[in-house]
Amino acid sequence: MTNNPTWEPINDYLENLAIVTLVQDETNPQIMYFGTGEGYFNADAVRGLGIWKSTDGGENWNRLTNTSDFEYVMRMAIHPNGDVYAATRENGLQRSQDGGQSWTKILGAGVSTGSSNGVNDVEIGPDGSIWTLTGYRGGSYIYKSEAGATVGDINNWSRVGRSSTGFAGGQDRVELACAESNPNVVYALCSDGGAATYIYKTIDGGQSWSKAADAPSVTPNSGNFAGDQAWYDLDIEVDPNNENRILVGGIDVMMSTTGGQTWSAVTAAYSNAAPYIHPDQHFIYFYPGSSSTLFIGNDGGIYRSDNANTAPSAIRFSVINDAYNVTQFYSVAIHPDFRSDYFLAGSQDNGTHQFDNFDIDITKNIWGGDGMICHIDQTDGMIQLSSSQYGNYGLSTDGGENFSGGAAANGQFVNPSDYDDNANILYAQTNAGGYFRWNVSQPGGGENVALSGANIGSITHLQVSPNVPNRLYLGTSSGRVVKIDDAHTGLTKSFTQSSIGGGSVSCIAIEKGMKTTC
């Protein structure tokens, strides 16, 4: 692998693209599998459709239709004996011994006493033993299958991580890491669903566990390295040549060279104290056999270090995202000049991007955070609006050359909004009730407008009328469509409403020219 590879898409049209885990057979690199389904219980998670297999090194993929009910495949592993394992959120630990043609649940509800179907991790030890967890987000107990001819069989599992062996129960998400240099050493990184909590360690193959450390804090921020989102980004990895050198990832990356006793920051996303890489770490991976070459995957793509065997503060990273075009966009705003290649786009955890060339392969990041719904004034393209999570808005009045903070709506994470090109007013949802209004041509940071009358539920969509000046439509979580006239004035507004019979309104479209009604 080159130091700066160029990526190319394989297939953008698979039946499901919520790929969570990818494995390659070390004895036959042409064989690969990936599992689908974002199983971390977030509201915007995408359900999967099972497992896919490639027999030509990833060029072509075929869905294993007998896994269609594996809606959340959290982790996969291939044993040196060729058996394939899939940790699933709702179907237990599954095994295939015939290249994916058939699958058997070997650990989970109805198979092993005291276990559940919630399995989020599976790891292969250097001696061929298998380690996994059941009870994901509901207790988490560690199981081990001893190496040998019957490894992985239903009757070859023992619950090694339990209170009687020193591993505290009641954990939420737990991630495991086996030391390649010592088959008796395994680490368990625990969380309470928000923050990371403890790191447990066994040095005797799971017979006993001790708490190696509380979850480390990133200095100078002095905050839990996973923040409050260990449910989303949490990983642990051991140096393949040093059982006491471990890395953990959450929002930031931390390193211990003492088996978890002491910690140092490798990165600090919200500080200048350490090398920057994008926050929200999802995997940490040493190149096989190497202590110096390290890969980290996060919401910003893939990073590589070639001096990872040095002191934590001296580790440096390079971004290897050339043509790795997987950024997820929430919205786009088109320039009113039809001859222009210019547009804005808000992206998940990668800010708002400015596109200004025909090939759309180079962008400029003009607003940080999670880039959300953006707008370009269709009567004056010099006026442009960016936004980030919870309705924090930026304004440019010079055609996108400069953006400055303008207003905060205190809204939803992905906050619905619409812009009135004729009145220069941004309308948005606010958690204060009613709607948020900001006249971008006037000084000040906007204002909340209350709605008088019956409770309409939370605002889920806003639409400015293209026909009647200052008329605003709102869609709500209770299935109502609300009409407000003279929405540009006053701090308390009355309204008329109609019901679509339940559900949540996600979009309102108005035909331009219907002046008598809309």
Decide if 1-161 and 329-499 have a common fold: yes
CA distance 39 to 89: 6
pLDDT in tens, 202-235: 999 999 999 988 888 876 556 789 999 999 999 9
CATH number of 329-499: 2.130.10.10
CATH superfamily of 1-161: YVTN repeat-like/Quinoprotein amine dehydrogenase (2.130.10.10)
Predicted pLDDT of residue 516: 63
146-204 pLDDT per residue, tens: 999 999 999 999 999 988 999 987 889 999 999 999 999 999 999 998 899 999 999 99
CB under 8 A, 24+ apart: contacts of 347-352: 347/371, 348/299, 349/278, 349/279, 349/280, 349/299, 349/300, 350/278, 350/299, 350/300, 351/388, 352/386, 352/387, 352/388, 352/394
What is the spatial distance between Cα 438 and Cα 415, in angstroms, rounded to a whole number? 14
pTM of the full structure? 0.88
Whole-number Å distance between alpha carbons of 26 and 123: 15
CA distance 351 to 387: 8
Ranges of the chain with pLDDT below 70: 1, 113-114, 219-222, 272-274, 454, 515-517
Question: Which phi and psi angles does 90 have, rounded to 5°?
Answer: -125, -5
Average pLDDT score, the chain: 92
Residue spans per domain, the chain: 1-161, 181-199+210-324, 329-499
382 and 364 Cβ atoms separated by less than 8 Å = no
pLDDT of residue 254: 94
CB 53 within 8 A of CB 62: yes
**Backbone phi, then psi, for 312, in 5-degree steps?**
-50, -40
